[in-house]
Amino acid sequence: MRTSIAIVLALGVAGCASVGTKVDTAQVQQFQKGVTTYSDVVAAVGEPTNVTTAADGAKIAVYTYAQATVRPETLIPYVSVFGGGADTKATAVIFRFDASDKLVDYSTSVSNTGAGYGVEAK
């Protein structure tokens, strides 16, 4: 019985992976244009995934996050030959700051992607 529970738990853990910094909508909405600074955002959310600085000193900070979940049938021997794959949900939050480091604007995006093989391939 213990072995069965250990196998189920191991499969559950192996079936999911994530990378990046997840920024919730509630976090984004707390920032005020013209008031919030780059340092305020970093203090609240953490270091961005990517920062681009323009020649005039303006800055774009990007936070990306992706979570991949393996479809359950992928983990079943023999069944996985006929179908399986993974589903990925990715988010990006982009903050734009002026040369004085004040927040100018922000935008968010969400994407959902699935990859399958066998019968699942489309």
The full set of domains in the chain, from first to last, is 16-115 (3.30.1450)
Q: Which residue has the tokens 């609240």?
A: 44
- What is the percentage of the chain residues whose pLDDT exceeds 70? 70
Which one of 70-74, 100-104, 117-121 scores highest in mean pLDDT? Answer: 100-104
Work out the number of other CB atoms within 10 angstroms of the CB of residue 71: 18
Residue 96's alpha-carbon distances to 1, 21, 26, 53, 88, in angstroms, are: 55, 17, 18, 10, 26
Question: What is the full DSSP assignment across 27-88?
Answer: HHHT--TTT-BHHHHHHHH-S-SEEEE-TTS-EEEEEEEEEEEE-GGGGSTTGGGTEEEEEE
Q: Please tell me the predicted confidence (pLDDT) of residue 1.
A: 45
d(CA 96, CA 114) in angstroms, rounded, equals 30
Work out the number of other CB atoms within 10 angstroms of the CB of residue 78: 6
Kindly indicate the confidence band of residue 103, based on its pLDDT and cuts at 50, 70 and 90.
very high
Instruction: Output the average pLDDT for the chain.
Output: 80
